[in-house]
Amino acid sequence: MGDDPQAVHANRAALAAELGVPAQRLVFANQVHGRDVAVVDGPWSGPVPDVDALVTTQTGLALGVLVADCTPVLLADPEAGVIGAAHAGRPGMMAGVVEAVVTAMRDLGARRLEATVGPSVCGRCYEVPAELRDQAAAVTPESAARTWVGTPAIDVATGVVAQLDALGVAVDWVPGCSVEQAGRLYSYRRDGQTGRFAGVIVREAQA
């Protein structure tokens, strides 16, 4: 069963109010587990693009990503005035969404990037076939993991952090496993029903 559109609208309006921006300036993408990036200049005037990362130099614009077990990545260069947000699930991590968003931000003038990596499913809870674990490890060796019972797994967040580190991005990694922390974090893998939590970043206007 899908989300109630009225509940989604109300939740996003409440989030925008908490952030201090008009509701229409809280911007999300239609996430598709890829690596494409959109440069955002304001609220969407047409169809919402199918991308997994957003970047902007505009003030008073909130960029958001929605996750159920995937890894939210928020980035900024405060001096250059560039911010970005990326949705990095296992497919996106393997496809290179981290490199794509960092490149897009540097194309806009970012030089000293900082990233906050949010909670997601940890490697102990993300069992996959051995072949898929090996494919992820071929892209980013640090992502290879084992579950609590010793079966093959992928640690997406560890892979994302390793990719950011390789790109010279300073990282603040917020601890937490979405599957293990019921009541604090939403998990589709745990609950099997629709829902999301969000990572959001805003570039505030200079005083």
For residue 193, the SS3 value is coil
Name beta bridge partners: 146.
Answer: 152
CA–chain centroid gap for 94, Å, is 14
Extract the tokens encoding 166: 């390789």
Residue 63, domain member (yes or no): yes
- Closest Cα to residue 170, out of 95, 126, 111? 111
Tell me which residue range forms the domain holding 94.
5-199
- What is the predicted pLDDT for the residue at 2? 62
Q: What integer is the mean pLDDT of 140-167?
A: 97
Residue 204, domain member (yes or no): no
**Per-residue pLDDT reduced to its tens digit, 158-197:** 999 999 999 999 999 999 999 998 777 767 677 666 667 7
Residue type, 162: A
Cα–Cα dist 44/207, whole Å = 26
Residue 90, domain member (yes or no): yes
- Number of structural domains the chain divides into: 1
Residue 206, domain member (yes or no): no
* pTM recorded for the entire structure: 0.92
Q: Which CATH number covers residue 193?
A: 3.60.140.10
Percent of the chain scoring above 90 in pLDDT: 74
Cα–Cα dist 170/153, whole Å = 26
